[in-house]
Chain A
Amino acid sequence: MSTPRSSAADRSLAPPGMDSKPDTRHGEILYVENVTVSFDGFKALDDLTLYIEDGELRCIIGPNGAGKTTLMDVITGKTRPDAGTLFFGSNLDLSQMSEHEIARAGIGRKFQTPTLFDGLTVFENLELALDAPKTVISTLFARLEGAQRERIESALETVGLADTAERRAGELAHGQKQWLEIGMLLVQNPRLLLIDEPVAGMTHAEVDRTTRLLRELAGSHTVVVVEHDMEFVRSLDSRVSVLHQGRLLAEGDMQTVQDDERVIEVYLGG
């Protein structure tokens, strides 16, 4: 499948650094090293070190307050780390980049509760997320090209919202909202997808579809899923990182993690 890119002319207009891509020649796409984030003395992340390989599907689990959402927040630039380093590829220092720069460099995020543009239609939500020039001038004069429309339509098919393209996002059912947000990630076409509790509020059939979709995406994309639902994590059959009190407690495949005594103590057994 060919993905249309912004034209050379558009790219030459982008200031250097804004449009740079992660260097993954060493195999890793995300380097989280000794990261600490504290809120009023409480350490949400405590000297956390974690690596994500390019193209991998990774689940991050942990009890409430383990620091999962804070980890998403520091990676996407919403929260700044108090200490430690965060690199996207070996070249992009995430702690020096703002949210939109991180998004442009290729990190997409799906929130725990669906976050959509309620006043816009399903189609328009996808149009805004689309991987296209995102400056004031370029959007003021933007025209939706045929290839871009096709990508939006194909995403609509993938997430099963083709019939609701003209409805306002705010009117969708909860499950549909989850899917629309996943569709927005697809058209944004990031290298690294951070997905926070994707199956909350979904039916069994929808969970199955989500599992298939995420497994399809891995390989061509790197997918990091934060999840509570152990059944779902098991079905993804990926490497699992267990967080506890802002630290990495264990890492490995689901079986290894499940047999780990520390994990049993704080999480699975507790």
Chain B
Amino acid sequence: MASDPGERRPLLSPLGWLLFAAFAVAAVVLLPLLHLLPAADSALRVPDFAIPLLGKFLCYAMVALAVDLIWGYAGILSLGHGTFFALGGYAMGMYLMRSIGTEGVYRSELPDFMVFLDWKELPWFWYGFDHFWFAALMALAAPGLLAFVFGWFAFRSRIRGVYFSIITQAMTYAFMLLFFRNNTGFGGNNGLTDFKRLLGFSLQDPDTRVGLYVASALALMGVFLVCRGVVTSKLGRVLEAVRDGEDKVRFSGYDTFHFKLFVWTLSALLCGVAGALYAPQVGIINPSEMQPANSIEMAVWVAVGGRGTLVGAAAGAWIVSAAKSWFTVAAPDLWLYVLGALFVGVTLFLPRGVVGSLMARGRGGST
């Protein structure tokens, strides 16, 4: 049989690729150069503090893409993605703790918090974290495995909609409480901090920071392409169909359980990548990342930017995080109210989100 070349949707439109390339040049080349080249007092210079801050925002954007993948496309609202993000961060943090060596406050082989707890030897679940490759693997495996097991039971039992969202919220709360305990072995409420070096490079060194920032930018672009690859495939259309009418998808011959479990686990893996890049740039990972409010904030990013747009979700992460940075300085007590109002306001008046609405208008906006 003469095989037809076959059709598949392009990953990005020509304009999309152009914008993607523009982002790549700006984020990976231009910005680092503007940090490294100009004189220290030049107005053009990107200041020192900005680099890890931007790196942090890039990590948030990855999380937003991961949340949009399941919520915007498959209609699964997670209010617990902070856990997957934090597990990625903890895995990297454990490596960073081990690479402090004997330079800690207590000059011990063990991380300081273990000395403080009077532990004599390394717990078994810290084995292997001396190696970067092992930590990198765990940054994927821990959130991936948790998501797989959680998703297996939840989707198998056909828990969905608001019930699913509530148990994800409960999950992140449970993990927060677990990680708050000193005896759990991850530094209790202080978490993991005082990192010194990564792969031998000092984390205080501006070049290392630029390196981490660039790695985050590349990772974000990679995550974006993976997400685009999923949503432009036929599988992406099955996910949208699950969102619109799961029963009908089953009656059409698809095992929706497998599809949901796949995209849910993938989403958690992507959050793990973001968390692993986040920890060294922020210099700390602690259980507050698993606060229920953090996970809700992640959903708000996506709602504000626009569900089912990917680009919008990333932009939403930046818009909301920028607003948060400003508000938590100007009026710290008000932030949670603002966040809630933002969620309600966007849902009522801008259901497609900021970027989603712009995109719909750009397309000529039918109806």
Contacts and interface: CB of A to CB of B under 8 A. Distances in A.
Contacts of B250: 98-100, 103
Interface in A122-149: 124, 127-129, 134-136, 139-147, 149
A80 interface: no
A99 B249 CA distance: 9
B237 A140 contact: no
Interface stretch (A57-65, A108-116, A252-260): A108-116
Contact of B252 (A119, A120, A128): A128
B253 A117 contact: no
A204 B252 CA distance: 29
Interface in A153-205: 171, 184, 188
A128 B238 contact: yes
Contacts of B240: 117, 119-120
A188 B253 CA distance: 9
Nearest to A106: B253
Interface residues of B, number: 30
Given A98-B255, A171-B367, A146 B4 contact: yes
Contacts of A171: 367
Interface in A73-132: 76, 78, 98-100, 103-104, 108-109, 111, 115-120, 124, 127-129
B233 A140 contact: yes
A140 B4 contact: no
Given A115-B247, A142-B233, A100 B253 contact: yes
Given A78-B247, A115-B247, A116-B248, A100 B255 contact: yes
B245 A109 contact: no
Contacts of A143: 6-8
B181 interface: no
Contact of B259 (A127, A136, A188): A136
Interface string B257-287: 0110010000000000000000000000000
Contacts of A188: 252-253
B337 interface: no
Contacts of B255: 98, 100, 134-135
Contacts of B8: 142-144
Contacts, number: 98
B7 A117 contact: no
B30 interface: no
Interface in B26-45: none
| Most chain A beta-carbon contacts within 10 A, residue among B6, B235, B252 | B252
B46 interface: no
Contacts of A78: 247, 251
Contacts of A149: 7
B288 interface: no
B251 A145 contact: no
Contacts of A135: 255, 258
B248 A115 contact: yes
Interface string B1-32: 00110111000000000000000000000000
Contact of A140 (B230, B245, B256): B230
B324 interface: no
A115 B245 CA distance: 7
Contact of A128 (B4, B7, B230, B241): B241
Contacts of B247: 78, 99, 115
A144 B3 CA distance: 11
A68 to B, nearest CB: 17
Contacts of A103: 250-253
B75 to A, nearest CB: 10
B254 interface: yes
A233 B234 CA distance: 38
A120 B262 CA distance: 21
Contacts of B251: 76, 78, 99-100, 103, 108-109
Given A99-B251, A117-B248, A171-B367, A136 B241 contact: no
A230 to B, nearest CB: 28
A116 B8 CA distance: 23
Contacts of B244: 116-120
Given A184-B252, A188-B253, A142 B234 contact: yes
Contact of B253 (A104, A136, A142): A104
A124 B237 contact: yes
A192 B245 CA distance: 22
Contact of B262 (A98, A116, A134, A136): A136
Contacts of B253: 100, 103-104, 134, 188
A171 B366 CA distance: 11
A144 B230 contact: no
Contacts of A134: 252-255
A99 B250 CA distance: 6
A99 B259 CA distance: 15
Contacts of B234: 127-128, 139-140, 142, 144
Interface of A: 76, 78, 98-100, 103-104, 108-109, 111, 115-120, 124, 127-129, 134-136, 139-147, 149, 171, 184, 188
Closest 5 CB pairs of A and B: A143-B6, A146-B4, A103-B253, A99-B250, A142-B234
Given A108-B251, A124-B237, A128-B237, 15 more contacts: A76-B251, A99-B247, A99-B250, A103-B252, A115-B245, A116-B248, A118-B245, A120-B241, A120-B244, A139-B254, A139-B259, A142-B233, A143-B6, A145-B6, A184-B252
